[in-house]
Amino acid sequence: MQRRSFLKKAGLGLAAGAVAAPAVVNAQAPAAGLPTISWRMAGSWPKSLDTLFGGMEQIAKRVSAATGGKFTIKVFAAGEIVGGLQVLDAVQNGTVECGHTATYYYFGKDPTFALSCAVPFGPNSRQQNAWMYHGGGLELMREFYKGYNVMQFPAGNTGCQMGGWFRKEIKTVADLKGVKFRVSGYAGLALGKLGVVPQQLAGGDVYPALEKGTIDGAEWVGPYDDEKLGFYKVAKYYYYPGWWEGGPELDLLVNIKSWEALPKEYQAILEAACAEANISMLAKYDTLNPAALKRLIGNGVQLRPFSNEIMAACYKAANEVAEEISAKNANFKKIYEAMVKFRNEQVQWFSIAENRYDNFMVAAERLTQRAPKKK
């Protein structure tokens, strides 16, 4: 009886399996019927920057691999379709389906764009990700981007950047007066209050301007990229930190009509590819910057911190700019106030565990390096 009962139950199980199998096949059928789609991605970066341009390539490769080559994205460096500072326009008007850029480049169109990238004394990279993914930042920014026919996805981060390259030492606030400095919109307004003459240039144009003396200084990203662009050959003083870019996010901007035309499966894959690039780019910078900084110092670069006097003056100037913009721009005011509230809470938290840990580790490592070696 037990054997017959077992066989009967097993038979029922086999029958159930026979019924279930076609359901699995049917579930896979839609995937087999997904369309072949080809997009173009315009970038704000030269191909020589394997970190930034490499982030674009990573997104394209992941999307193609995850769709079996059915959804492909061809990437174009700055200048190949549009200039590095025209990516938003190209996506908005449908010249390309998507673009990879730093959205503070479009500060002149609306200062609100900077809030999905970086603002002076804004969140660091981890805090930026927290605000975007879980603090309401992504929802607020996407609401804003709808007015420009664009969807926005976090798709990279450099970590806190350096304060830039100068031909002369900058010891006091007075030393900033009259300096022609390559820097983007928001930070440029803050520095302008201190006498700096801001210049906005795409990455590929910075070295020639420094070399010719058209500008007196420039900020870009950090040691690895700055070394590649050769800034140390024409300016020897390298300052830190880049207080205007504590955790600058890079975004994939997607034309809304192109996004809505994608199958849901492709939408999910593209969003996941952007999130992966966001993590991977920061990890790559953290890996490559230390060795690059050592090489730069070996080439005679003079590493300098901005003085507390300069930092305090810049903080005051940046807050004044935020107040001035907020008084004129409701979108900026709404999102900026939400971001600042989140940032302040994050800073308090980071000051407890992270800051104490990091400061101890820096001190401990320095003591270890200075200690005499046992024979």
CATH number of the domain within which 90 lies: 3.40.190.170
Q: Could you tell me the residue range of the domain that residue 260 belongs to?
A: 36-158+247-286
Confidence of residue 185 (pLDDT cuts 50, 70, 90): confident
Pick the more confident residue, 292 or 203: 292
Q: Is residue 355 part of a domain?
A: no
Geometric angle at alpha carbon 202, from 251 and 303, rounded to 5°? 95
Q: What is the mean pLDDT of residues 116-130?
A: 98
Q: Is residue 328 part of a domain?
A: no
Percent of the chain with pLDDT over 70: 91
Whether pLDDT at 373 is above 80: no
User: What's the pLDDT tens digit per position in 305-332?
Assistant: 999 999 999 999 999 999 999 999 999 9
Q: Is residue 193 part of a domain?
A: no
Q: Is residue 97 part of a domain?
A: yes
Give residue 369's pLDDT.
80
Cα–Cα distance measured from residue 143 to residue 284, given in angstroms and rounded to the nearest whole number: 31
- Tokens, residue 260: 């809505």
Cα–Cα distance measured from residue 336 to residue 118, given in angstroms and rounded to the nearest whole number: 11
CA distances from 146 to 140, 182, 253, 257 (A): 10, 30, 11, 11
Whether pLDDT at 256 is above 70: yes
Q: Is residue 372 part of a domain?
A: no
Q: Is residue 367 part of a domain?
A: no
Average pLDDT, the chain: 91
Give residue 23's pLDDT.
33
Confidence of residue 282 (pLDDT cuts 50, 70, 90): very high
pTM above 0.85, yes or no: yes
User: What's the pLDDT tens digit per position in 45-81?
Assistant: 999 999 999 999 999 999 999 999 999 999 999 999 9
Give residue 374's pLDDT.
66
Tell me how many domains the chain contains. Answer: 1
> 281, 250 in Cβ contact below 8 A?
yes
Q: Is residue 329 part of a domain?
A: no
Pick the more confident residue, 25 or 264: 264
Cα–Cα distance measured from residue 294 to residue 303, given in angstroms and rounded to the nearest whole number: 10
Confidence of residue 10 (pLDDT cuts 50, 70, 90): very low
Q: Residue 107: name the closest of 334, 320, 331 by CA.
A: 331
Q: What is the mean pLDDT of residues 294-305?
A: 98
Confidence of residue 139 (pLDDT cuts 50, 70, 90): very high
Q: How far is CA 42 from the centre of its chain?
A: 16
Q: Is residue 151 part of a domain?
A: yes
Whether pLDDT at 370 is above 50: yes
Confidence of residue 372 (pLDDT cuts 50, 70, 90): confident
CA dihedral over 262, 92, 102, 335, signed as positive or negative: negative
